[in-house]
């Protein structure tokens, strides 16, 4: 489901922006290096490189902190990084979004590991994990998806969080 949803969103983005025109005019030019994840060092770590493949730099180097996803902030000063809060049971539900400062490489947790909602119809609903972060254009918020527990496969919802964690 996650892969299908991601491919659908990518298809819509490409289809709607082939001419470089978004719903509010021309799309901004992004001049950030390319982020990618590799296990070259023995664990999933974050790297960046120029668009032509030069100047490859490893940004993270902690085998206990595998990187599953990463997205530049629009201003290029921060990176939203998805990693585990710990490596205990149910690692898929232990992923959270961290904010990484590009200059000093510090990681600050943004999303909680678990999130409960009390719904008037369905009662208490519990969500775990954090996946596919997307920055708002002003870098003030991040949208991300979560899985409903225990219905692992079919219940994914989108949440939005302010960059200050509220």
Tens-digit pLDDT profile for residues 95-136: 889 999 988 888 899 988 777 778 777 777 777 788 899 999
Question: Is it the case that residue 48 has pLDDT exceeding 70?
Answer: yes
Q: CA of 152: how far to CAs of 31, 51, 60, 125, 132, in Å?
A: 37, 37, 29, 13, 16
Contact yes or no for 142/161 (Cβ under 8 A): yes
pLDDT of residue 10: 42
Position 11 confidence tier, pLDDT thresholds 50, 70, 90 = very low
């Amino acid at each position: 489901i996650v892969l299908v949803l991601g491919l659908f969103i990518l298809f819509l983005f490409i289809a709607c922006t082939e001419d470089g025109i978004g719903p509010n005019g021309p799309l901004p030019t992004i001049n950030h290096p390319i982020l990618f994840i590799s296990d070259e060092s023995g664990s999933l770590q974050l790297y960046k490189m120029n668009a032509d493949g030069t100047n490859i730099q490893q940004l993270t180097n902690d085998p206990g902190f595998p990187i599953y996803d990463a997205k530049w902030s629009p201003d290029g000063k921060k990176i939203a990084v998805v990693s585990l809060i710990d490596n205990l049971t149910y690692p898929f539900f232990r992923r959270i979004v961290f904010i990484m400062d590009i200059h000093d490489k510090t990681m600050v947790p943004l999303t909680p590991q678990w999130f409960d909602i009390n719904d008037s119809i369905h009662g208490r609903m519990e969500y775990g994990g954090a996946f596919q972060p997307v920055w708002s254009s002003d870098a003030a918020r991040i949208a991300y998806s979560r899985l409903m527990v225990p219905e692992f496969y079919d219940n994914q919802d989108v949440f939005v969080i302010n960059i200050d964690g509220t």
